[in-house]
Structure 1
Amino acid sequence: MASFFKSSCLFFPLLMLLLWAFPCTATTAVKPIVQVGSYHCPPFVIKHEDGTFSGLSILLWEHIAKQLGIQYEIKEYELKTLLDKIADNEVNIGVSCLSITPERELRFDFSHSFYETHLAIAVKQKSYASAAANFLTNKQLLTVLGFIFIAAALVGAIYYLLEHKVNDKLYSMPSRRAKLIEGFILGLLFITKGPFNYFEFKTLTGRVITVMLAIATTLFIASITALLASTFTLGLLSSEIRGPQDLVDFPVGAKAASTSSVYLTNRGIVHRQYRDNHQLLEALEKEEVEAVVADNAVLMYLIKNAKEQGEFQQLMVLPYPFEKQNYGFAIEDKSPYTEALNRALLHVRRTPAWRQALHEYFAEK
């Protein structure tokens, strides 16, 4: 009994000493560091020379992480590698310009959308000589001009048959050949300029046809003017590409593993793949391809900023957006942060700071 009492006197002070030295080991859990994967995608993710990141997606994530009290570290990956690592649960969340697609949803989860855009096509504007040649050989233009000449010849022939023997004012040339030419000129003026004075014609039939053609040519001239203006403007400033349906006939580029590349592949459009968007635009500048496909917001931002720095002066985004894209954060399956992250995301999107950030990155300068 005495030995037990003596041992107890030594054991209990030692136990108290251990509990005092490590008071938090049983009650405090260390929060894990969230692994964030990203890639350079201005203006959503901009990687700086010192290794830090900024941009719209980074700004949104920083606000969310602060609200949730999350510790994190960001590592850069190429797009395909990032998607694979999220699918394999090696990266907890992907933060960049990641489009939400059904194919990707099969591999991992997505947050709510935080930005909506479309796919778009960028081309290199042609030189003046090339643009002029393109304009003169434009199939649409040649078709319109051919239709005008045929219509002018038809109208001129009708008036020639009706008026050349009785109307010395309109048909003053002595030879038949010259009068035929006068008839064609009359038809051409009628088609392109509009109806003549009703009293210029001597026959009743000619006057009746004049009244009927007056209505038709007014609409015809308006349509032809609009069509020629469109053909001239687009043919001179851009290219023959008017939308994704035209890409099959031209060398095309897209970023590897992007939704743009998937879109082209699904439609059987053979295209070259490039590592990043800057490399993609360089290929267009060097005329390795005649068009590139990427997200409209990214293309507009990159080309605008490049032009401000004296680069890519002839590149332009065509005004034909297609295939809507919604950006979200890619999240590993069964993440414990998904619900809280979505709530925080919706909250940040309603703040003045987020609206101001959108204005700063996308406002015209």
Structure 2
Amino acid sequence: MPLKALHLCLFLLLSCSVSVIHAKPLQVGITTVPPFAMQNEQGEWQGISIDLWRAVAREQQLDFEWVPLSFTELLSQVESGQIDVAVGALTMTADREAVFDFSHPFYQTGLAIAVPPSPKHGIMHSLKALFSWEFLSVIAALTLLLFVVGTLLWFCERRANPDQFGGKAREGIGASFWWAAVTMTTVGYGDKAPVTLAGRMVALVWMFAGLIMVASFTAAITTSLTVSNLQYQIQGPQDLPGNRVATITGTASAQYLQDNRIIRREYANLSDAMHSVLDGETDAVVYDRPLLQFRNQQLAEQRLTLVPGVFDQQLYALAMPAGSKLRAAISEEILRITESQEWSAIQASYLQESK
């Protein structure tokens, strides 16, 4: 009896120990990556990845508790096994796969480019440019030059050519002003022409100067009306070399820019990177498209322009310590969820564009 009683006690103790082990909540590491993981005004965690994990935990009957971490801490603690699952927007890469396990991917996207806001175009925009200070100052300078040339010609021709440049000073200078204008524009009606040597010398100089003036005036008008179309020529990743590109430190996008020898400025978070474009510190920002898309919605009137399309494909997955026994069950559940209507609803609730 004493021996049987001892065995019974050991069995009960072992059972209790196993129960305690299984009862311990899973440590689920999370980091703020809108719209995949973020906190609302009440401090509750929500997002695409958060909702996905809650669905997995519900179906697998897993008890867990959140462990908020920085991005760097999240990677190091899942590698060391301090947390059981890392939830967020972790990109699957060969380097990361070598140190911890990934679940089946639940989101496929790619890198995208955001550039400064595109200026508005149209008739009103063109009319506004015509009445800008820069344009009006060019017109004023040209008018003054025509007046000076016209006055000089009138001074040379007023006595020798009274039929064309004579009369009162007001009339003579007006006729000379008209001649200077039609000569500069190479219209040359032929209704007025200088006859004196001095007048013809003025005319000869003005003819050649007029060619330069017309070219300069045309360039000024073109610049005033179309400069906004020429400001942002980044239409895809092939246009990034030679530009200053913002991104986030320690991410796949930073690695892409480094591998392609693109000048980059790394920032601590996406908001700082996007504001660097708005402030003119950088020419574009490169990052995962859904993250750019969501953050851009929050900029309201200061929204950047997202270049269409994605490149350098990215796959998001949950991460677990190497050899985790949870991997198979979690991956199976992720497959089931991502094939359901529930998954489409989760994405639609956070992103305007459907996948």
Whether the 8 Å CA contact 1:125–1:239 is kept in 2: the answer is no
How big is the shift at 1:39?
1.4
Question: Which of 326, 332, 337 is 1:343 aligned to?
Answer: 332
Is 2:269 aligned against 1:276? yes
For 2:19, the equivalent position in structure 1 comes to 28
Q: Match of 1:248, SS? A: coil
Aligned length: 256
Is 2:273 aligned against 1:286? no
**2:240 and 2:19 mapped to 1: Cα distance?**
60
For 2:53, the equivalent position in structure 1 comes to 61
How big is the shift at 1:233?
9.8
For 1:240, the equivalent position in structure 2 comes to 233
Larger displacement relative to structure 2 (291-300 or 234-243) = 234-243
How big is the shift at 1:28?
3.4
Q: Which amino acid in 1 is paired with 2:275?
A: E
**2:227 and 2:325 mapped to 1: Cα distance?**
52
For 2:306, the equivalent position in structure 1 comes to 317
Q: Match of 1:117, SS? A: strand
How big is the shift at 1:297?
1.4
Question: Which of 82, 96, 117 is 2:74 aligned to?
Answer: 82
How big is the shift at 1:23?
10
For 1:41, the equivalent position in structure 2 comes to 33
Q: Match of 1:35, SS? A: strand
Question: Which of 326, 344, 357 is 2:346 aligned to?
Answer: 357
Whether the 8 Å CA contact 2:78–2:84 is kept in 1: the answer is yes
How big is the shift at 1:33?
2.2
How big is the shift at 1:29?
4.5
**1:335 and 1:69 mapped to 2: Cα distance?**
17
Q: Which amino acid in 2 is paired with 1:25?
A: C
Q: Which amino acid in 2 is paired with 1:287?
A: G
Q: Which amino acid in 2 is paired with 1:285?
A: L
Q: Match of 2:19, SS? A: coil
Q: In 2 relative to 1, CA 234–346 (structure 1 residues): closer, same or farther, beyond 3 Å?
A: farther
The Cα offsets for residues 253-302 of structure 1, whole Å up to 9 and x where unpaired, read as 11111110011111112311111212222222222211110011111121
Whether the 8 Å CA contact 1:124–1:238 is kept in 2: the answer is no
**2:264 and 2:235 mapped to 1: Cα distance?**
17
Q: Which amino acid in 1 is paired with 2:352?
A: A
Q: In 2 relative to 1, CA 26–332 (structure 1 residues): closer, same or farther, beyond 3 Å?
A: closer
Q: In 2 relative to 1, CA 314–346 (structure 1 residues): closer, same or farther, beyond 3 Å?
A: closer
Pairing 1:9-24 to 2, within 5 Å after superposition: none
Give the TM-score, by structure 2 length: 0.63
Larger displacement relative to structure 2 (83-92 or 293-302) = 83-92
Q: Which amino acid in 1 is paired with 2:346?
A: A
Q: In 2 relative to 1, CA 268–26 (structure 1 residues): closer, same or farther, beyond 3 Å?
A: closer
For 1:170, the equivalent position in structure 2 comes to none
Q: In 2 relative to 1, CA 28–234 (structure 1 residues): closer, same or farther, beyond 3 Å?
A: farther
For 1:214, the equivalent position in structure 2 comes to none
Question: Which of 289, 296, 315 is 1:296 aligned to?
Answer: 289
For 2:135, the equivalent position in structure 1 comes to none
Give structure 2 stretches of 5+ with no counterpart. 127-185, 187-224
For 1:220, the equivalent position in structure 2 comes to none
Is 2:104 aligned against 1:112? yes
How big is the shift at 1:127?
5.4
Whether the 8 Å CA contact 1:123–1:238 is kept in 2: the answer is no
Q: Which amino acid in 2 is paired with 1:62?
A: R
For 1:144, the equivalent position in structure 2 comes to none
Q: Match of 2:32, SS? A: coil
How big is the shift at 1:52?
2.3
Identity of aligned residues (%): 29
RMSD over aligned CA atoms reads: 3.6
Give structure 1 stretches of 5+ with no counterpart. 1-7, 133-180, 182-231
**2:350 and 2:239 mapped to 1: Cα distance?**
31
Whether the 8 Å CA contact 1:36–1:73 is kept in 2: the answer is yes
Q: Which amino acid in 2 is paired with 1:87?
A: E
For 2:208, the equivalent position in structure 1 comes to none
Q: Which amino acid in 1 is paired with 2:105?
A: S
**1:259 and 1:111 mapped to 2: Cα distance?**
18
Q: Which amino acid in 2 is paired with 1:282?
A: H
For 1:94, the equivalent position in structure 2 comes to 86
Q: Match of 2:112, SS? A: strand
**1:244 and 1:253 mapped to 2: Cα distance?**
13
Q: Match of 2:299, SS? A: helix
**1:244 and 1:353 mapped to 2: Cα distance?**
34
Q: Which amino acid in 2 is paired with 1:76?
A: P
Whether the 8 Å CA contact 1:126–1:238 is kept in 2: the answer is no
Pairing 1:135-146 to 2, within 5 Å after superposition: none
Q: Which amino acid in 1 is paired with 2:19?
A: T
Whether the 8 Å CA contact 2:35–2:47 is kept in 1: the answer is yes
**1:112 and 1:46 mapped to 2: Cα distance?**
22
Q: Match of 1:94, SS? A: strand
